[in-house]
Amino acid sequence: MSVSDKGSDKLPGKRGNTNDHQSALENKTASLAMNQAVDAYLSFLRHEKGFAANTCAAYQRDIQKLSLLAAGLTIEQWPALTAEHLRRCLAALKREGLSARSLHRWLSAVRQFFDFLMREGICHSNPGLQVQAPKRPKKLPDTLDTDQLAGVLNVTPDSPLSLRDHAMMELFYSSGLRLAELVALDLVDLDLDEGVVRVVGKGNKERIVPVGSKARDAIQQWLTVRRGMAQDGENAVFIARGGQRISRRQVQVRVKAWGLQQGLEGNLHPHKLRHSFASHLLESSGELRAVQELLGHSDISTTQIYTHLDFQHLANVYDRAHPRARKKDDE
């Protein structure tokens, strides 16, 4: 990506090509200072904000895109970056094919990075606050209906690994866990007698969520065979064939394979089970705040997307059932 090919895009403080060797040395020094600032920022995200490793990696990739915009600037010259430069960078990223969702995430990362630079006294303003991200289409979560879930979950496992996979999927749907939350579960987090599980979610926020009877039964069956598979000292609830904690990728592969084996159309993945949990619970209860707490959403607006799903379901029922709503061809 290059947003400064044209002369009008050049940033204040950049030198011309009168001395290539000196310019190269200055660029190297600027890159070193920039890398130090990024490292300090990532350390801040990990240790003070409590962000997960994958989240930090995503922020790092976004900040690296910003660094290309400021190539050749020393860290002290970063106040030279303006909202107009960021708009050009957004336009360049869009031309490269980044989706509106990715552009929103990039701008959010840039804003938070400038907040950090202001905190460190490097910058005195945040140009990202003057930039508006492009509108993104509202995409409703992909869910399964209750009949589809019954076909996927009402299965008798016939091997230790299928017992594990069945328990994982029951827990996804029963408690609405994220993939990372399920993988991170330790044995001490489970209380099957009380029917609850302790979850550490985004931002290291802890919550206690209920575990339904079907999931408790499936987990108990899995724990019975887990004892003979786990390596010494392994505390993970869900382990791989080798006896160590299962990885996120392994869970995704196993869940997808399970859906295919049960003849489910489309890709079955952990988040689809979480979405189904939220949609079905909200549809039955109407308790938006309760669903927010169970999902671990910090902002209720994130949970409100499931109200759109519920309304869409009701609208479809209305269109099919109301005599004044049906098209003439259907009469």
Among 65, 105, 256, 271, the one annotated catalytic: 271
Q: How far apart are CA 183 and CA 189, in angstroms?
A: 12
Quick one: DSSP state of residue 239?
B
Q: Is 15 a catalytic residue?
A: no
Cα angle: 295, vertex 258, 145; to 5 degrees: 50
Q: Is 59 a catalytic residue?
A: no
CB 298 within 8 A of CB 203: yes
CB 137 within 8 A of CB 100: yes
CB 204 within 8 A of CB 50: yes
Q: How far apart are CA 76 and CA 99, in angstroms?
A: 32
Q: Is 280 a catalytic residue?
A: no
* Helical (H) or strand (E) element with 114: helix 100-119
Half-sphere exposure of 241 (CA within 13 A, CB side): 5
Q: Is 178 a catalytic residue?
A: yes
Q: How far apart are CA 106 and CA 128, in angstroms?
A: 10
Among 202, 207, 248, 256, the one annotated catalytic: 202
Helix %, strand %, coil % of the chain (to 5): 60, 5, 35
Q: Is 105 a catalytic residue?
A: no
Residue 160: CB atoms within 10 A of its CB come to 16
**3-class DSSP assignment, residue 198:** strand
- Nearest Cα to 39, choosing from 53, 60, 54? 60
Quick one: DSSP state of residue 11?
P
Q: Is 297 a catalytic residue?
A: yes
Among 88, 178, 272, 275, the one annotated catalytic: 178
Bridge pairing between strands 190-191 and 206-210:
unpaired
**3-class DSSP assignment, residue 205:** coil
Q: Which residues are catalytic?
A: 178, 202, 271, 274, 297, 306
